[in-house]
Structure 1
Amino acid sequence: MGPMPEGHTLHRLAAALDDAFGGSVPEVSSPQGRFAEGAALLDGTTLERAWAHGKLLFVDFAGERTLYVHLGLIGKWFVLPVDPAGSEPPAVGEVRLRILGEEHVADLRGPMACAVVDQHEVARLLARQGPDPLQHDQDSDAAYRKISRSGKTVAELLMDQTVLAGVGNIYRCEVLWRHRLHPLKPGRSLKRSSWQLVWDDLVHLMPWGVRTGSIITLDDVLEDVRTRLDGGETVHVPREFAVYKRTGMPCLRCGASVRHKVVAGRNLFWCGGCQRRT
């Protein structure tokens, strides 16, 4: 079982859906049959826009109906071009939901949640989420208020979607390393200034995940990718991190061994040498 997609993946997917279907009237169906009633509500209506908050994906249709999707651990949603002159592509596997337009098809498989909801339910779902570093005008203080009152570890709190939306395990491990913060200290010991460094860094790093489809947390890799993209090149982003999945290897900054521990069911990685700040 793979890791749950982090927030940049959902924002990237929302943009792909928006580009493919925004403003059009696609066919909406459920080849698998499990979402037939919901699909019938949306079929033949205008798809207005797709957007994300954290790990939640929303697709707004005319008539104040919104498709709400949570991929969970195994959900996949692919947006692919179709042959304009060909017949409808066959549904491969257990396709819960299909959106079919003149030029693209989007097949959803294995989501944790897939439902047609009204605006009241959208508001309720959003109210349960923390601020999302990938959205403008978010209140980072709302997250810090919860962190500063909690005895849970900083590592746990950064993965709690009701505290902070969209941050998954890789960003969590790497951003704590970038600011020399010990992951196992309680949230209430985290200084306001340290939290601001973490938030600002996520706001800086995560859009590159949306742009490239890859998590980038090392400054030299980011600078190389930025230069190549600005030069019009197609870029392959190396999967290189400072501490994530580098148990026992030397820290890139101080040379001490990278440590590993399972916290709240997830693998945590940090440097035992330089991550001492609270």
Structure 2
Amino acid sequence: MPEGHSVHRLAKQFTSVFAGERLAVSSPQGRFAAGAEQLDGATLLSALAHGKQLFLRFDNDRVLRVHLGLYGAWSFGGDATFRGASSIGAPRRIGESEQPSGNGDAHGGYAGPPEPVGAVRVRLVSAHGWADLRGPTACEVITPAEEAAVRTRLGPDPLQPRSDGGLFARRILSSISPVGVQLMNQAVIAGIGNVYRAEVLFLQGISPWRPGRQLSEDEVAGIWADTVRLMKDGVGEGRIITTTAEARGGRPKASAPHYVYKRTGEPCRRCGAPVLTAEMAARNVYWCPQCQAD
């Protein structure tokens, strides 16, 4: 599913192209008709990402909460003033790369949004652009108080400016659960998914099977710092790329973006040992048995 960097890109795009705009909100497939009616005609005030959750805040004290899950994605378009990606969401649906919207032209030729294609759960339309949501795991209208309650249950988000790395450290170090399990727990740290888990632990030389209590404070601080750095890079790149140019051996980023993720049996880019994989908390985890020895 989309990891935290994609949701932060969504929040930035909604803020850029829709904040301050009065929106026509509808549910072309009909499943969100009651929710759309609560938002139709309201003005979007702001968009915020917390981990994998997106909160769109409107001027009528209503918030649209969206969790894309495995298959959710947003599509965008608009006139010549509309600038942004054409789609952002689940890699299974659209892939990690994001292309410019390319809608409209230099003369403002824009006839409004196209006819809905597929099962569009929610459509947002402003004077200059539109956004369609398909396939989310969660999509609901809530109050600001309910938004606050949802966010309280989440762990710190590495991409938020004042996020608490100390709280993350305390939660990791106080648990006997393997660190690889804890990093996928959104109540411990919000926004990490399978790719960031594998890559950050490789960079830190930590086995995903090591209990949290066996980590040092420096090791946990290193996990946090690398997560912040890599997720910021993900916001800028529009995809997760963790390898250095040296590790890629001169190859393009797209051909060798990761150290261990989905590289089962391939040689480690550092030591040459075959990369291992196993199931951990219902997801595959990847690691190098030499670079990340227990």
- TM-score normalised by structure 1 residue count: 0.90
In structure 2, the partner of 1:118 is 143
Aligned equivalent of 2:114 = 89
Alignment check: 8 A CA contact 1:49 1:61 kept: yes
Which of 29, 39, 43 aligns to 1:42? It is 39
Which of 75, 78, 81 in structure 2 is aligned with 1:78?
75
Matched with 1:232 is: none
Asked if the contact 2:241/2:253 (under 8 Å) is kept, the reply is no
* Counterpart for residue 146 of structure 1: 171
Q: Choose which of 223, 233, 240 in structure 2 pairs with 1:215.
A: 240
Alpha-carbon distance between aligned partners in 2 of 1:236 and 1:261, rounded to the nearest angstrom: 26
CA distance in 1, matches of 2:191, 2:177: 19
Alignment of 1:46-57 (within 5 A): 46-57=43-54
Tell me whether 1:177 sits opposite 2:202 in the alignment. yes
The residue type equivalent to 1:258 in the other structure is V
Task: State the shift of 1:34 in Å.
Answer: 1.4
1:231 aligned partner: none
Shift of 1:252: 1.2
1:258 maps to: 275
User: What letter corresponds to residue 66 of structure 1 in structure 2?
Assistant: V
Q: Which amino acid aligns with 2:70?
A: L
Secondary structure of the 2:123 match is strand
2:273 corresponds to 1:248: no
Alignment check: 8 A CA contact 1:214 1:237 kept? no
Q: 1:134 aligns with which of 140, 147, 159?
A: 159
Structure 2 Cα separation of the partners of residues 121 and 206 of structure 1: 27
CA RMSD of aligned residues (A): 2.0
Per-residue deviation, 1:56: 0.3
Check the 8 A contact 1:216/1:222 in 2, yes or no.
no
Q: Give the structure 2 partner of residue 10 of structure 1.
A: 7
Query: How far apart in 2 are the matches of 1:261 and 1:88?
Result: 45
- For the residues of structure 1 that align with 2:271 and 2:256, how far apart are their CA atoms? 21
Question: Structure 2 vs 1, CA of residues 40 and 236 (structure 1 numbering), >3 Å: closer, same or farther?
Answer: farther
- Name the structure 2 match of 1:160: 185
Aligned residue identity for 2:184: M
Which runs of no fewer than 5 residues in structure 1 stay unpaired? 225-234
Aligned length: 264
Q: Give the CA deviation at 1:54.
A: 0.3
Distance 2:233 2:248 in 1: 11
CA distance in 1, matches of 2:275, 2:157: 29
Length-normalised TM-score, structure 2: 0.85
Deviation at 1:64, TM superposition (A): 1.9
CA contact (8 A) 2:248 2:256 kept: no
Partner of 1:275: 292
**Kept after mapping to 2: 8 A contact 1:17/1:79:** no
Structure 1 239/125 Cα, relative in aligned 2: closer, same or farther at 3 Å? Answer: farther
Any stretches of 5+ residues in structure 2 without a counterpart? 80-103
Question: Within 1, Cα distance between the matches of 2:45 and 2:247?
Answer: 34
Q: Deviations over 1:241-266 (max 9, x none)?
A: 11111111111111212111111111
Indicate conservation of the 8 Å contact 1:177/1:242, yes or no.
Answer: yes
Q: Deviations over 1:89-110 (max 9, x none)?
A: 1011111100011221100111
Question: Could you tell me which amino acid in structure 2 is paired with residue 201 of structure 1?
Answer: D
* Contact 1:134-1:206 at 8 Å conserved across structures: yes
Letter in 2 for 1:271: C
- Distance in 2 (CA, whole Å) between partners of 1:239 and 1:106 is 32
Cα drift, residue 157 of structure 1? 0.5
**Which consecutive segments of 4 or more residues in structure 1 shift more than 6 A?**
221-224
Instruction: Give the superposition deviation at 1:220.
Output: 2.2
